Amino acid sequence: MNKISEYRHQNILVIGLAKSGLAAAKLLHSLGANVTVNDLKATHEDSSVIELSRLGIEVICGEHPLTLLEDKKIEVIVKNPGIPYNNPLLTIANEKALPIITEVELAYKISEADIIGITGSNGKTTTTTLIYEILKTDDQNPLIAGNIGTVACEVAQAATADNVIVMELSSFQLLGTIEFRPAIAIVLNIFNAHLDYHGTREDYVLAKSKIYENQIQSDYAIINYDDHEVCEMSEKSHAEKIYFSTKKDTVDGAYVMSDAIYFRGEKIIDLKDIVLPGEHNLENILAAVAAVKMRGASNQSIYKVLTTFTGVKHRLQFVDTVEGRRFYNDSKATNILATSKALQAFSQPTILLAGGLDRGNEFDELTPYFESVKAVVLFGETAPKIERIATEYGIEVIKRVDNVDQAVSTAFTVSEEGDVILLSPACASWDQYRTFEERGDIFIQAVHKLK
């Protein structure tokens, strides 16, 4: 890693532990910073707190003392991406014009490897994984990091110039960047999401657009030609612009023509040979193809991955077939756009399992995609709202249950051979489950119990 000196002897506050806070605190300590950590929920008995204390890092638990910035003469704040900016300490920090960053900014500054950054409202994990798998098949020594589960600054410490870091990035992470500059930047799409965090769609888009804004002419900006908002965002980038499109076959980049994927006039693969289902995944595939081609990946490597890659866990993941019913786990579908795209992936009669955290929105935008839906099984806080639109659409079989486990058995009883049973909640999981992964795992276990 690059042993940068800019943080040496600086007083830095890390707010929020979890994986990213722990990694950031240890990294900054190794770079010579005077680090203080503050976490509201942590206790002095937690293993991460004990580990940091042994390094001589002070950890303040159980409160956010409002005098902390002054007492410690803090010069920089590294915050956990999930902590909102209306946190009282961050409000004071903003008034003092202190830099507030996330750990991906640290990762960029210490990385010897190029970074491919992927963001968007939907499809980030699938696209990130596709790029990683293609580059791995192409022997380009990729490392995977970011919002996908591996802390970016940890990966960056291990990376050398022979690696390339494929980094999934959320709007929360990007908002806390200043100099961050990926060699290849991708924005997949923009849809209303996380407005409870950002406040307005405009602020959400501004956060996403930071992936482009520091790019220079030697970099590449991968742009969804079919999303006018992404095209507008890309105007911030000074990089070479590479487009992808499922609708237009004259773009400079990756596109669909004659039932095949092409890149700049060169045929890559027939659509019939791709095993990953769904129109939305076609967008993800095109974005991945554009990115890896700019890294010089061979068509053979692309073809090998696209003919074997069946999806990422919890993202339109095929689980099993039980008595002729095909079960798909799309627990990562935490908003309406994701669920609408999942529904478009199937022409077979579909039983939709949906519901979850109520963020105040309605679900009427789902109804144009109900054509193949023969029944809905609903759970969680939003069950009444989704029941309303399903009733208005004319779906005759509507069931309300207590949880995902019950939803699986109920869906099976109202299904027939040849049906698709799809968990695609259109909501976050936090009303009943800690994470969308936990929700998806329960779905998988319930499917296996049917056998």
* Annotated binding-site residue numbers: 120-126
Q: Are 139 and 163 spatial neighbours (Cβ–Cβ below 8 Å)?
A: no
- For 4, 145, 189, 190, the CA distances from 366, given in Å and listed in that order, are 49, 32, 18, 17
DSSP 149: S
Closest C-alpha among 140, 125, 129 to residue 294: 140
In this structure, the number of other CB atoms found within 10 A of the CB of residue 18 comes to 16
- CA-based diameter of the chain, in Å? 67
Rounded Cα gap, residues 261 and 238, in angstroms? 27
- Structure tokens belonging to residue 88: 């009282």
Residue 309 DSSP code: -
The token pair at 91 is 């409000």
Match 């190794």 to its residue by tokens: 30
Residue 422 CA to chain centroid, in angstroms? 20
Contact 386, 363 (CB under 8 A): yes
72, 115 in Cβ contact below 8 A?
Answer: no
Rg (CA), the chain: 23
State the alpha helices, DSSP H only, in 252-373.
279-294, 299-306, 336-344
- Number of C-beta neighbours around residue 46 at 10 A: 16
CA neighbor of 147 nearest in space, from 168, 166, 131, 165: 168
CA dist list (Å): 354 to 10, 361, 419 = 48, 14, 17
Asked if 360 contacts 335 with a C-beta cutoff of 8 angstroms, the reply is no
Residue listed under structure tokens 């803090």: 74
Q: Provide the CB-side half-sphere exposure for 40 (13 A, CA).
A: 9
| Angle at 83 (CA atoms; ends 333, 443), nearest 5 degrees | 25
Which residues are annotated as part of the binding site for ATP?
Answer: 120-126
**How many whole angstroms from its chain centre is CA 54?**
34
Encoded amino acid at 216, one letter: I
CA separation, residue 172 to residues 7, 105, 241, 340, 356 (Å): 23, 12, 25, 24, 22
Residues present in the chain in total: 451
Count of helix runs (H) and strand runs (E) in the chain: 17, 20
